[in-house]
Amino acid sequence: MAKVRNAALVSAKGAGKTSLVEAILFNEKVTDRLGRVEDGNTVSDYDQEEIDRTMSLSPTICSFEHNQDRIHIVDTAGYSDFFNETKMICRVVDNVIMLVSGAEGVKSQDIKLWQMLDDFGVPRMVFINEMDKELADFDMAWKSLGESFGSSVFVPVAVAVVKDKVLVGILDIVAMKYIGGKADGSGEISVEKIPDDLADLAATYREKLVEAIAEINDDIMERYLEGEEISADEIAGVLLEGSSSGSLVPVCSGSATKNVGVKTLLDYFIKLSASPQQHSEFKGLDKNDKETVLKPEPNESFAATVIKTSVDQYSGKASIFRVLAGKIEPDSTVMIGEKDRKFKVSALAVMCGKTQKPITSAEVGDIACVIKIDDIDTGNTICDVNNPFLLEKLDLPEPVVALAIESKERGGEDKLSKALKSILDEDPMLKLKRDEQTKQLTVCGTGQVHLDSAVNRIKKRFQVEVNVSPPEIPYRETITKSIKYVEYTHKKQTGGAGQYARVFIDLEPMERDAGYEFVDKIFGGAIDQVFRSSVDKGIQAVTAQGVIAGYPVTDVRVSLVDGKTHPVDSKDIAFQVAGREVFKKAFLQCHPILLEPIMNVEIEIPDECMGDVIGDINSRRGRVITTEQGNNVTIVKVTVPLSEVLRYAPDLDSMTSGRGTYTMELGHYEEVPKRVAEEIIARYNKKMNKEEE
Please, are residues 36 and 257 in contact by the beta-carbon 8 Å criterion?
Answer: yes
Helix (H, G, I), strand (E, B) or coil at 361: coil
Residues in the chain, overall count: 693
Angle between helices 232-245 and 262-272 (to 10 degrees): 70
Helix (H, G, I), strand (E, B) or coil at 40: coil
Secondary structure element (H or E) that encloses residue 145, with its range: helix 138-148
The confidence score (pLDDT) of residue 438 equals: 67
The letter for the amino acid at 451 is L
Beta strand spans in 255-361 (E): 282-285, 291-294, 303-312, 316-325, 327-328, 333-336, 341-344, 348-352, 355-359
Please, are residues 76 and 59 in contact by the beta-carbon 8 Å criterion?
Answer: yes
328 phi and psi angles, rounded to 5 deg: -130, 140
- Rounded to whole angstroms, how far apart are CA atoms 603 and 675? 28
The letter for the amino acid at 263 is K
The confidence score (pLDDT) of residue 312 equals: 79
Of 279, 294, 292, 375, residue with least CA distance to 334:
375
Which of the listed CATH numbers 3.40.50.1470, 3.40.50.300, 3.90.79.10, 1.10.8.100 matches domain 4-278? 3.40.50.300
224 phi and psi angles, rounded to 5 deg: -65, -45
The letter for the amino acid at 163 is K
For the chain, which residues score pLDDT lower than 70? 400, 436-438, 495-496, 631-632, 693
- Rounded to whole angstroms, how far apart are CA atoms 23 and 620? 46
The confidence score (pLDDT) of residue 495 equals: 66
What architecture (CATH level 2) is domain 594-675?
Answer: 2-Layer Sandwich (3.30)
**pLDDT tens by residue, 459-505:** 988 888 999 988 888 899 999 999 999 999 999 877 667 899 999 99
Q: Whole-model pTM? A: 0.79
Centroid of chain to Cα 512:
32
The sign of the CA dihedral 462, 465, 470, 475 is negative
Please, are residues 91 and 241 in contact by the beta-carbon 8 Å criterion?
Answer: no
Parallel, antiparallel or unpaired: strands 154-156 and 249-253: parallel
Please, are residues 308 and 59 in contact by the beta-carbon 8 Å criterion?
Answer: yes
- Rounded to whole angstroms, how far apart are CA atoms 487 and 286? 63
CATH topology of domain 480-591: Ribosomal Protein S5; domain 2 (3.30.230)
Please, are residues 120 and 394 in contact by the beta-carbon 8 Å criterion?
Answer: no
CATH topology of domain 401-469: Alpha-Beta Plaits (3.30.70)
So where are the chain's domains? 4-278, 282-391, 401-469, 480-591, 594-675
3-state class percentages of the chain: helix first, strand second, coil last, to nearest 5? 30, 35, 35
The confidence score (pLDDT) of residue 436 equals: 66
The confidence score (pLDDT) of residue 76 equals: 96
Please, are residues 265 and 162 in contact by the beta-carbon 8 Å criterion?
Answer: no
**What's the per-residue H, E or C state across 517-560?**
EEEECCCCCCCCHHHHHHHHHHHHHHHHHCCCCCCCECCEEEEE
- Rounded to whole angstroms, how far apart are CA atoms 327 and 557? 62
Parallel, antiparallel or unpaired: strands 441-445 and 431-434: antiparallel
Of 251, 115, 111, 240, residue with least CA distance to 172:
251
* Same fold for the pair 401-469 and 594-675: yes
Please, are residues 546 and 584 in contact by the beta-carbon 8 Å criterion?
Answer: no
What residues contact 364, with CB distance under 8 A and at least 6 apart? 1, 4, 276, 277, 296, 297, 298, 323, 324, 325, 326, 327
Please, are residues 79 and 656 in contact by the beta-carbon 8 Å criterion?
Answer: no
CATH topology of domain 282-391: Elongation Factor Tu (Ef-tu); domain 3 (2.40.30)
Please, are residues 623 and 638 in contact by the beta-carbon 8 Å criterion?
Answer: yes
The confidence score (pLDDT) of residue 631 equals: 62
